[in-house]
Structure 1
C-alpha cells in the first residue's frame, strides 16, 4: 500500500505541476521559468539535506553521484522546451507519453528486467489511453514540425537514460541526497546551456524583469512540486519497484494533468478523454498487480 501511495504521489506532483506550469507560462518565458523552478527545487532540497544531515550535498563526490541530472532535468527539459516551440502541444504530449514503452524496453535491455507479453499489452493500452486523453487537443492542431517532434523524442530518451542511471544508484544512495545532487547538477548544466544560447541568440536570455509576485510564487511552488517532490518520490519508489513497474505510474501524469486543468482552469472533459483516462488507470492498476520478475 505504501509503495502505491508513493507512486501515485509522484504522478500527482508531475501532473498538477504541468498544469501550474501552463498557467505560469502565460507571463514567464519558458527558459526563465525553467531556471526559476529548478532554483526553487534545489533550494528546497538542499535545505532538506542540511536539516537531515547538517551538511550540504555540494562535495565533489556528491556532484559526481548526481551526474544523471545532466540528462534529466537538464537535457530532457531543455531539449523539450525547444521541441514544444516547434511542434504542437498535443504532439509533444503524445511523443512524451512514449516514455512508458521506451522505459520498459530499455529496462529489459540494460537492466535485465523481464519483458513479458502482459507488460507490452498494458503499455500499449496505456499509450492508447493517453492518445484519447489528448484527442481534443490533437483535433485542434493543424501544424507540426518534424524537427520539433524529434527534439521532444530526444528529450524523452534523455529522461529514460536518467531513469536507468538512477535505478543503478538508488540501492546504495539516500534518495534525498541523490535527488539534491542530481537537481544541483541539472541546474548548473541548464544555466550553462542557456547562458551559451543567450550569447548566440539574445531571444534565449534569462530575464525575470516584469514578473509579478503571484507568478513568482506560482513558479517557485510549481518548481518545488514538479521537480523537488516529484523526483524525490520517484527515486524512493525506485528503491522498491522495478523500473518497468514504476513506468506505468508515469502514464498517470496526463490523467492528473487533465483533472487538475478541469479543477483549476475550468476545462471540460470529453467522452474520449474519459475513456482514455479510464484505460490509463486500468492499465496502471493491472501493472501494480503484477509480481516483480
Structure 2
C-alpha cells in the first residue's frame, strides 16, 4: 500500500504539510481529526487522478435525486399557476377534491400497471397518515389562502417551506447544515427577494391569506421530514397513492368548512359547466399531486431531508415564470437577475452535496 503513495510526490508533500499544520505546529490534536484531514486530502487528489472506485455509482445516485427535484420544481411551480387560474371557477376545497380524484385515479392505474408490491400493514398506516399533512391539510390552507392573496404572494410564501424543512431536519433528525450551505441559502433568499419583487412592495398586507399559506408550508415541511424516514425502501407510486387516497377522504369531510367560509358554495350549486375549466382542474391535479409528489418522494431516496428542502427554493421562480406565460405578467431586469442568482446558488449546493456524499462513502470504505 505504501508504495502506491510514493508514486504521487505532490500527494506525499500535501499529506506532510497537513500533518505538520495539524500536529507539529498546533501541538495537541485529536488523532481522528488528523486522519479525517489527511484522508480528505488523499481523496481529493485521487479523485482528480480518477482512481476512486464507485464514483460512477455516486454520480448516478446524484443524477437521480437531481432529476427528481428538478421535476418536482418545474411541476410544482407550474401547477401553482394552474391552480390559481382554476380558483376563478371553483371554490378551494371543491377544487382540491376534484384535483385529488384525478390524481388518485392516475396513481392507482400506474400502481396496477407496474404491479407494485404492497408494503406491510404497519408501514401502510404510517404512509397513509402522512397524506393528512400533505396534500390534505397543506393544500386546504394554501388554496383557501390563494383566494385572499395573489400568485406572487403565494410564490414568495412557498419559499418558506424550504427554510422550515431545514429547521425541522436539524431539530428532529440532527442534520446540521454546513457553513457553505447557510451562505448559499442566504444567497438564494436574496435572489428570491429580487426575483419576486419584494423590494417593490409585492407582498400586500393580506394577513389572513398569508397566514394560511404559511401554516400550509409548515404542514408540508413536517410531511417532507417525516417521509424521509420511511420512504427509503417503498415503491414511490404506492406511497403517493396511499397518502392521497386518505387525503381525498379527509378533504371530502372538510366540505362543511368550505360551506362555512363560502356560504354560496353549498350543494355544489356553483360548479362551472365549461369543459375547458374542468380540464384545467383535472390536469392540474395530476401535475401538482400525482407527478410532482412522485418526483419528490423518489428524490428523498437519495438525499437527506434538510438538503431536499433547499432545492424547493426553485419552485417560486418557476411560479413567476408560469405567471408570465399564463397570467400575462412581466418580469423586470432586476427580477431576472434575482432568478439567475437563485439558480446559481442551487447549482452550487447540488455540486457541494455530490462531493460531500461521495467523500462520506469513500471514508466509510
TM norm structure 2: 0.72
Would the alpha carbon gap of residues 65 and 141 (structure 1) be closer, same or farther in structure 2, given more than 3 Å must change?
Answer: closer
Does structure 2 retain, via aligned residues, the 8 Å contact 1:68–1:162? Answer: yes
Report the Cα offset of residue 200 of structure 1: 7.9
CA distance 1:98–1:225, change in 2 (3 Å): same
Structure 2 counterpart of 1:178: 239
1:154 matched to 2:215? The reply is yes
The 1:154–1:219 alpha-carbon spacing in structure 2 relative to 1, beyond 3 Å, is same
Task: For structure 2, list consecutive stretches of 5 or more residues without a partner in the other structure.
Answer: 1-62, 361-365
Indicate if the aligned counterparts of 1:27 and 1:211 stay in contact, CA closer than 8 A: no
Quick check: 48-57 or 11-20, which moved more? 48-57
**Equivalent residue in structure 2 for 1:275, among 334, 337, 342:** 337
Q: In the alignment, which residue of structure 2 is the partner of 1:219? A: 281
Gaps of 5+ in 1: none
- Structure 1 equivalent of residue 318 of structure 2: 256
Task: Please report how far the alpha carbon of residue 64 of structure 1 lies from its aligned counterpart in structure 2 after TM superposition.
Answer: 4.3
CA 1:85–1:273 in structure 2 vs 1: closer, same or farther (change >3 Å)? same
Summarize the Cα distance change of 1:126–1:111 in structure 2 as closer, same or farther, 3 Å threshold: same
Decide whether the 8 Å contact of 1:87 with 1:143 is kept in 2: no
Root-mean-square deviation (CA, aligned residues, Å) is 2.6
Q: Which stretch has the larger CA shift, 78-87 or 104-113?
A: 78-87
Which has the higher relative contact order, 1 or 2, with Cα contacts under 8 A spaced 6 or more apart?
Answer: 1
Cα distance, 1:56–1:27 mapped onto 2, change above 3 Å:
farther
Question: What is the CA-CA distance between 1:75 and the residue it aligns to?
Answer: 0.8
Relative to structure 1, the CA distance from residue 199 to residue 142 in structure 2 (aligned partners, 3 Å threshold; closer, same or farther) is closer
Tell me how far apart the structure 2 counterparts of residues 82 and 7 of structure 1 sit (CA, whole Å). 26
Q: Deviations over 1:95-135 (max 9, x none)?
A: 32111111112112211223212212222221222222221
Q: How many residues align?
A: 291
Partner of 1:124: 186
The worse-fitting range, judged by mean Cα deviation, of 204-213 and 194-203 is 194-203
Matches within 5 A, 1:59-70: 62-70=124-132
C-alpha deviation, 1:22, in angstroms: 2.4
Larger Rg: 2
Is the Cα–Cα contact under 8 Å of residues 92 and 258 in structure 2 kept in the other structure?
no
